[in-house]
Structure 1
Amino acid sequence: MYQINTFNAIAQEGMERFEDDKYAINDTDDPDAVILRSKNLHEMPFPASLKAIARAGAGTNNIPVERATQEGVVVFNTPGANANAVKELVLANLFLSVRPILEGNEWVQNFPFNPGDDVEAIAEDHKKQFAGNELVGKKLGVVGLGAIGALIANDAERLGIEVYGYDPYVSVDTAWSISRRVHRVLELDELLKICDFVTVHVPLMDSTRGMIGEHEIAQMKATAHLYNFARGPIVDKDAVLKAINDNRLGGYITDFADADLLHHPKIRVLPHLGASTEEAEINCAKMAAANLKRFLETGDIVNSVNFPSVQMSFNSPWRITLINKNIPNMISTISTFIANLDINISNMVNRGRGDYAYTLVDLDELDRSKVENLIDELNKVDNVIRVRAIEHPGAFYEEY
């Protein structure tokens, strides 16, 4: 029986994937895995039993990923599960940037009409103050062409917008999904100089913190609008405020509330609505559950932010999973221990990521006591962080 603990409200459609005969939910303080959304785990000690954390969302800045890695805890996220929700919100704000829809509605609602007034005629007389522009032919720059950025680029192009994309690390799979009519630029400054709108979609890391700062904003048109639906610190808010107040930036829209950005006529602040749709929460919960089930039942790692993706068909009676320091001779050391116990290896795969490595070893062995003895021996090996044995589950994980 696997023990799963939850933080935050996780959509039932995801939790239903944990079968009652194999999983217990919130029954212990020593879970095998945790599934969460926004709960901050930085001050929470990890129990020795914890093997995995699944974030029902893309960002993992609420999880101490480095500490988890050092303790052999695999951290998963759900890339792409909320991409459509964020895409639609960005597109909605593109329309709001060129058409004063909200302002027009507020004017009509608050105009001091008198009883008997011809409301329609009065509104017609005043509508010129809410004239806007069209998006067709405007230039949009998308910084970061991951799951969200690629969707925005493709759909904006279909709206008749001229789209420019910047991502020096774009994956092959993403590259295939992006319309050939989206212009790829090799330098960020080039994109900033020509675009009327710039939207940022990169993860928050040390290398991206303050990625859009004074220098970058200085490259933009004075009429351009900057969007941040990724993470607040990616954009230097002080640089934004200074540029807007100096009339060097047309507007800023962010999905991350900050007291310093409130009540400014050229800044729109949203309460982190990007993934706040029923569909996105369900998709994230289902993918997070699938990630955990696959890992706990087969040892496979997919969508991890701290360990390499490793998958291998599970056809043997037992599988051993190992997390260890990524140093020379670890594979030979592991193989020697297995051979010394007269156990045959039927299949093996090893992948490294930075300072750590992950290994799956399938064993042609039916004797449970020999496998348990092997686990005890491997746990004594220097630089081995975590070892576990998985008996063939019979039924495999459900695909997301």
Structure 2
Amino acid sequence: MDFLDYIQLVFNDYTLRTITLGTAILGAVTGMLGSFAVLRKQSLLGDAISHAALPGIAIAFLITGAKDTNTLLIGALISGLIGTFWIRGIITKTHLKSDTALGLILSLFFGFGMLLLTFIQKQPNANQAGLDKYLFGQAATLVESDVWLMAIVTGLCLIVLLLFWKEFKLLLFDKDYAKTLGFNIKTIDVLITSFIVLAIVLGLQTVGVVLMSAMLLAPAAAARQWTNSLSRMVFLAALFGAFSGVFGTAISASQNNLSTGPVIVIVASVFVIVSFIFSPSRGLLFRQIRFIANRRDLEQKKTLAFMYHIAKTHDSISHPHTIKILNNFQGFTRKTLQKLVDKDYVTIDGTMWSLTQKGFDTASNLFNQQNKDDE
């Protein structure tokens, strides 16, 4: 199935349209909220919350005996919030760091959740089948009501971000200053964390407990490479998340036996890899290009300074010197010499070189600047 066929199917096929819209909205909201988790250096938060939600799903099923999606997600939300507040309590009441607290809650809740799932699987009740979809996700189970719920949560998230944008920025970059201004930091922290929990819980049905943290972090990590502005980062993260959902769904729909959730995560990871390599400001490629350019510039300056010290001992700066003098100089290369010629700093006559007035003045300025810096 090519891309045009997929576009036609999106408009004509109810199931595919629902899944595409659902994954796009999920990617957008998790990308937005994931930006705050990444900037607060709480990358494990999404992993801990998603795993902490598993016992809530199992307990909700044990209580109701039904696989109603809304009921199970309410159980996951309650369990996720409990896990989140336990993490906060461990950090504030003990000397343990946040990564230790996140790891403890993640392993504790996930282990308890797996124990409950094992217990449920052994019950003589056919209705228990299918709960394991929350481990790895099953996007095909999305229905229109799920998409509307995601859209409503995304809308609420946007409203809250716009209303408390200043407070969120202060919380991210200068918590102590926010306290001095009289802001209730604890309330703001609970608010943004609660929305992160809600977004993660909504994504469990699509991506699953195991992979949900990637949906929260990957778009934000990719967006961080392209900008230093929080507003642009949030926008780009939402965009990358939405595209990950759409492209992941398209790839999954075009092939047989490809789970949508893992494919979405792989697509999001591709955005991260591309951003890490090709971002103009932080990308590895452009960083290497800048490093090579800076090294060449340094070699040119060192060679020019060496020539300056030689020329300064003569009455005329244009006095010719043999190139052999440069051969034992560490910074000298033939390419460096040619660059100096191209810039009209040096003239070459056979095997002899001499400084131009422009080259002498430039080297003199560099030498004087170096002396000032040393002082």
TM-score between both structures, scaled by the size of structure 2: 0.25
| Greater relative CO, 1 or 2 (CA 8 Å, sep 6+) | 2
TM-score between both structures, scaled by the size of structure 1: 0.24
Greater radius of gyration (CA): 2
Structure with greater helix share of residues: 2
